[in-house]
A and B are shown apart, each in its own frame.
Chain A
Amino acid sequence: MQNSRRIILGYNSGVAFLITAFAAFMASGANAAEPIPWQMNFQPAATPVMEKIIDFHNLLLTIQVGIVVLVLGLMLYIIIKFNSKSNPEPSKTTHNTPLEVIWTVIPIVILIVLAVPSMKLLFFMDKAPNPEMTLKITGHQWYWSYQYPDNGDFEFDSNIIPDDEIKPGQRRLLEVDNQVVLPVNTEIRLLMTSEDVIHNWAIPAFGVKMDTVPGRTNESWIKVTKPGTYYGQCSELCGVNHGFMPVAVKVVSKDEFKKWAAEAKKEFAKAKNTPVKVVKMKSPAQAQLR
């Protein structure tokens, strides 16, 4: 919690102070890894990648606010100074080469200033340097399945808990029956594919968002620095129940993870041959299109 506050308060120091203060006020007292009402910022980072994304975005936002304020200021000045009442005689200036060179060169300089951290971030987030384990993720219409090749090679499906089964305190549209369990402070390689259409496995707090494409295997990685439960949603239109295939990841200590993996191996070995559970959402069209 301490850490998350720091990140939110560190956001765009000074430039949009009111917004920041408001968001920090709204964020205080909330759990680390889900959207909260009236949130205006990113969810607090839980991985090094997301921390770097937030840092980079702070730089971007500072420059953007500056540009918008500059343009707005110039327009207000023009409105006050150069309306037909205060300035009845229009000037005849149509060229000013030094000025035109300046407003071409300054944006180029700004872009170079942005490009350097942008490239650093991009190459950092690409691949895990030393992955300690692998999680295989497969997208289906409309649920996820997960496989743990390094921890006993068991696999299971993860379905949404529909609205009519949601218990008080659970998060509507975000909770699943079988959460992914992963160890904290571990570099984990994510391998993703899809069995039918293109889906997208995304968790905002991890800074992970990767398409699962049939016929391809995509790679991403995470190293979660704080235990907790993290939520995301499918982020590529995948059909009728696109909005109803959430991602929920429970991050636990390494010991707890070992215990869970041993139990899960037994539990899901039994379940392997049972038919896929079909979750009934309210849409009558689902049955026809499945």
Chain B
Amino acid sequence: MSETAHADAHEHHDHRPTGWKRWVYSTNHKDIGTMYLALAMIGAIVGTAASMAIRVELHEPGVQFITDFQFYNVLVTAHGFIMVFFVVMPALIGGFGNWFIPLMIGTPDMAFPRMNNISFWLLPAALILLVIAGLIDGGPGTGWTVYPPLANADFHPGMAVDFGILSLHLAGASSILGAINFITTIVNMRAPGMTFHRMPLFIWAMLLTAILLLLAIPVLAGALTMLLTDRNFDTAFFSPAGGGDPLLWQHLFWFFGHPEVYIMIIPAFGVISEIVSTFSKKPIFGYLGMAYAMAAIGVVGFIVWAHHMYTVGFNVETRAYFTLATMVIAVPTGVKIFSWLATMWGGSIKFDTPMLFAMGFIFLFVVGGVTGVTLANAGADQAFHDTYFVVAHFHYVLSVAAIFAMYAGFYYWIGKMSGKQYPEGMARLQFWVTFIGVNILFFPQHFAGMAGMPRRIPDYPDAYAGWNMISSWGAYITAVGAILFFVVLWKTLTSKETVAANQWGTGANTLEWTVASPAPFHTHEQTPAIGTQPAAIGTQPAE
């Protein structure tokens, strides 16, 4: 590792800040990535606490401990916002993206390091605003969809919803800045020889995610601003009394909201592709198909938004169009699933924890994906809309699958990030506890939903008690899994056992495995050499 020695030699000439300044003033992609991951963990604790409160309340019929139903709605809202904007996005995009885009494309840092700093620091500010929103004036009991008229000043007087809007504005600005940085970096700063068709799939995923963010977030910002002026300056964009239309909000929100779900899952696709290839000791199967499947999902993701709105009273032709367009997404998604299976096929697979989580991801994503095809049909959706079946569906694909990708990425890269070995046995235990927990948690919700249980209710008819009790027990098991994760994290960071530069061996051939572990403060100060095969770039480090 001549490069490591090289970096060490430069260490003395670095004028980098230390102590708190190292983090607050940071322009280093690795430090910023670490801060994103830390913020995601804080967000995860808050968001999980909200969901646990919900599951405890729903453990039995009747009121358990939430006597204020507005507070219940605030918990539902906070859980949604925090998990989307302050857990999944910062971990998969801000965390892994910042850490590994420069490392994988062979460049010293992001294109705009100072913008990277502000793009991170807007996010804690946004989280604080969101927490304030939840604590004042009864909180925003609107759900994360913030549908007016419920979100209007008439039905949510006080400043709670305004604080929520400002929070999303800041989080959105953060995402837009990050997206610009990612796109510029990936388009302009790849090492010589790394053409678009030779980029690792993780880089493809981050590029496509950044493009989706850049196109979708401004629409949300526009809608939020309209809602803000409706609430405070007597405009009537969404108020029928003033000539506006509540459905305009739903169109704008879901024009952002549907790409948003792909913004959360495409980075997960990237992480899983890297891990499946590494542990199968095979290059990814159908590389171009995989890359363009993600691109196709991103493009089609912009023309299917109204499938979230089948029951608003569209004419039948509109619903027919959105049904057919939505079903199309199943094709590129199928290509991805089958390509992962084909990558494993014929491989020499080691089932370390990252691979366990990756295989868990594939299976759970298929389960959530097939129920997605059910919900895509406007006709069938009339029975499923706004029931727990929908809750089960999107938790399988987002909560479970996205979180499995986060766990997988963590175990895959923690050696590179910290230089320490995670405890394998305990990590596998964490996988199994989590895998069993989430299935007990979410699978029975399909049944409750088919029996007719609506979403977002603090109490339910007694007939739904059975499956809700099982679901709550699943939640407690999943929470044990999350606690185990933090134990693993602690054990890893305090471990004396270090890892080699390439801890995964011959399968791991992207550029981040050519630098030392932990990755030095500055990496790729010399431009790395790039091979010719898409998934076999970089020099093979000695075993």
- Using a CB–CB cutoff of 8 Å, the interface residues on chain A facing chain B are 34-43, 49-50, 52-53, 56-57, 60-61, 63-64, 67-68, 71-72, 74-75, 78-79, 82-84, 87-96, 99-100, 103-104, 107-108, 111, 114-115, 118-119, 121-123, 125-127, 141, 163, 171-174, 196-198, 200, 202, 204, 207-211, 213-216, 218-219, 231-244, 281-286, 288-289
Contacts and interface: CB of A to CB of B under 8 A. Distances in A.
A92 B465 CA distance: 52
B73 A242 contact: yes
A191 to B, nearest CB: 11
Interface in B239-286: 240-241, 245-247, 280-286
Contacts of A209: 311, 382-383, 385-386
Contacts of B147: 197-198, 236-237
Contact of A60 (B347, B367, B377): B377
A64 B371 CA distance: 8
Most chain B Cβ neighbours within 10 Å, of A34, A200, A289: A289
A90 B281 contact: yes
B443 to A, nearest CB: 10
Contacts of B521: none
Given A57-B380, A118-B380, A243-B460, A103 B338 contact: yes
A229 to B, nearest CB: 14
Contact of A78 (B156, B345, B383): B345
B316 interface: yes
B55 to A, nearest CB: 16
Nearest to B382: A209
A121 B379 contact: yes
B456 interface: yes
B189 interface: no
Interface in B318-349: 319-320, 323-324, 327-328, 330-331, 334-335, 337-339, 341-342, 344-349
Nearest to A45: B383
Contacts of B62: 163
A37 B466 contact: yes
Given A40-B447, A118-B380, A71 B366 contact: yes
Interface stretch (B64-72, B97-105, B109-117, B432-440): B64-72
Given A82-B345, A211-B313, A197 B380 contact: no
Given A83-B351, A103-B338, A216 B383 contact: no
User: 5 closest A-B pairs (Cβ-Cβ)?
Assistant: A215-B240, A243-B457, A91-B346, A218-B313, A121-B379
B293 to A, nearest CB: 9
Interface of B: 61-63, 67-71, 73, 76, 138, 141-143, 145, 147, 149-150, 154-156, 240-241, 245-247, 280-287, 289, 311-313, 316, 319-320, 323-324, 327-328, 330-331, 334-335, 337-339, 341-342, 344-351, 359, 362-363, 366-367, 370-371, 373-374, 377-380, 382-383, 385-387, 447, 450-467, 507, 535
Contacts of B246: 198, 213-215
Contact of B334 (A34, A90, A107): A107
B394 to A, nearest CB: 15
Nearest to B142: A237
A91 B452 contact: no
Contacts of A284: 67-68
A285 B69 contact: yes
B467 A38 contact: yes
A122 B316 CA distance: 7
B141 A239 contact: yes
Nearest to A285: B70
Given A197-B155, A288-B138, A71 B337 contact: yes
Contact of A95 (B285, B378, B387): B285
B319 A211 contact: no
Nearest to B282: A90
Contacts of A238: 150
A287 B281 CA distance: 63
Given A90-B282, A171-B461, A198-B150, 14 more contacts: A38-B467, A60-B380, A64-B370, A94-B285, A103-B338, A104-B334, A114-B373, A121-B380, A198-B149, A209-B311, A216-B313, A240-B70, A242-B457, A243-B459
Contacts of A34: 461, 463
B396 to A, nearest CB: 11
B453 A35 contact: yes
Contacts of A90: 280-282, 346-348, 507
Contact of B335 (A64, A87, A94, A103): A103
A56 B459 CA distance: 31
Contact of B383 (A123, A200, A204): A204
A210 to B, nearest CB: 6
A106 to B, nearest CB: 8
B150 A87 contact: no
Contacts of A52: 379
B136 to A, nearest CB: 13
Contacts of B311: 200, 209-211, 235-236
Contacts of A36: 451, 463
Contacts of A56: 377, 379-380
A288 B462 CA distance: 28
Given A37-B466, A64-B371, A283-B69, A210 B338 contact: no
Contacts of A37: 462-463, 465-466
B279 to A, nearest CB: 9
A243 B150 contact: no
A26 B351 CA distance: 41
A35 B71 contact: no
A289 B466 contact: no
A204 B453 CA distance: 9
Contact of A84 (B319, B348, B370, B374): B348
A40 B142 CA distance: 29
A196 B70 contact: no
B466 A38 contact: yes
19 contacts: A39-B450, A40-B450, A83-B348, A83-B349, A87-B348, A96-B286, A111-B328, A111-B330, A111-B331, A122-B377, A197-B149, A209-B386, A210-B313, A213-B246, A237-B143, A237-B150, A238-B150, A240-B141, A285-B68
A55 to B, nearest CB: 10
A86 to B, nearest CB: 9
A107 B338 CA distance: 11
B460 A232 contact: no
Contact of A111 (B312, B327, B387): B327
B447 A39 contact: yes
A43 B461 CA distance: 14
Nearest to B334: A107
Given A60-B377, A122-B323, A173 B346 contact: no
A121 B323 CA distance: 12
Contacts of B342: 93, 96, 99
A98 B522 CA distance: 45
Q: Which of A49, A207, A282 has the most CB of B within 10 A?
A: A282
